[in-house]
Amino acid sequence: MDSFYIIATGSLVAISCGLLGCFLILRKMAMVGDAISHAVLPGIVIAFLISGSRDSFTMLIGAGIIGVLTTFLIEFFHKKGNLQSDASIGVTFTWLFALGVILISVFAGEVDLDQDCVLYGEIAYVPLDLWIGTNGVIYGPRPLYVTGGVLLIVLLFITLGYKELHVTTFDPAFASAIGISTALWHYLLMSAVSLTTVASFESVGAILVVALLIAPPATAYLLTDNFKRMLGITVILGVLVSFTGYYLAVWLDGSIAGAMSTMAGVFFTLAFIFSPVDGLLAKQIARRKEKSVKSLV
């Protein structure tokens, strides 16, 4: 059952991250997840200083608040400071992360409070993090319920706001012309990304969350020009990454999160080479055909 719990948790996180990642890639904001995973450190420290506890739920609340603030600051610097999106992302997460390091060194230097213990999770520990009821009944791994709940929220968000998200992603000018607030849906999307990132990285690790947020959607992007099909392919890839990554780790006796991230890269590489439309081989064949036609003419 331990294998099932790990693969299931990885799959739930991969689907949640991948679905939101599709919108981020098309908006050219793929690295927002990485920014949030670093920028939330001051929120974790502040939550500890206020509560005096290292309870995971308290830490997640602090991280979640700063995660949402991070998305607002990124957009603020992009709009008001006329910075490119990548520059505003870089500026925001570096100074917030640095602020977190300073807060730890000044106020929590004597406490075991660092990224390894409160920020970077390990998916291999999922079967050990059990939800035990007040009557002593074990309901299973707590991360499985957390990531399942997050997936339901993400699915509900995308289902109810699909038209608005679709229009504001592909044609923001048209969206504004028909009365859809691009700013509102941008912040709603960023809030969903923040929630998913913060809720997931305690269970599976920040590195794996970032990999799942980017690699499966980027792979699907190479395989299709249809957005709905892209969402479906991303879901399938997320499950495949979790399944194959786990058994690769078992075979190598190595890191499960590292193996899953590696498989995400392997699938992307295969799509990059063999994609029927945008793959290297397809482009090479198209060039040869074009040269043949020109030579005949």
Q: What is the CATH number of the domain that holds 279?
A: 1.10.3470.10
The gap between the terminal CA atoms of the chain, to the nearest Å, is 65
With tokens 């998305």, the residue in question is 71
In terms of residue numbers, what domain contains 279?
2-296
- Residue pair 256/245 in contact by the 8 Å Cβ criterion: yes
Taking CB atoms within 8 Å and a gap of at least 24, the contacts of 98-106 are 99/41, 99/42, 100/40, 100/41, 100/42, 100/43, 100/44, 100/45, 101/41, 103/42, 103/45, 103/46, 103/49, 104/41, 104/45
Confidence (pLDDT) at 118: 46
* pTM of the complete model: 0.86
Q: How many domains does the chain fold into?
A: 1
**Residue among 145, 194, 158 at smallest CA distance from 37:** 194
Confidence (pLDDT) at 162: 92
Query: What gap in Å lies between CA 17 and CA 138, rounded to an integer?
Result: 28
Amino acid, single-letter form, for residue 25: I
Task: Give, for all 297 residues of the chain, the pLDDT tens digit.
Answer: 788 889 999 999 999 999 999 999 998 888 787 787 777 778 877 877 787 765 666 777 777 788 788 888 887 887 777 777 778 888 888 888 888 778 877 776 555 544 554 445 578 878 887 777 777 777 788 888 888 998 999 999 999 999 999 999 998 888 888 888 888 888 888 888 888 887 887 777 777 888 899 999 999 999 998 999 999 999 999 999 999 999 999 999 888 888 999 999 999 999 999 888 777 887 787 777 766 666 655
> What DSSP state is assigned to residue 129?
S
Confidence (pLDDT) at 201: 72
Collect all residues with Cβ–Cβ distance below 8 Å to 152 and sequence separation of at least 6. Answer: none
Query: What gap in Å lies between CA 11 and CA 279, rounded to an integer?
Result: 26
Query: What gap in Å lies between CA 167 and CA 248, rounded to an integer?
Result: 40
Confidence (pLDDT) at 109: 57
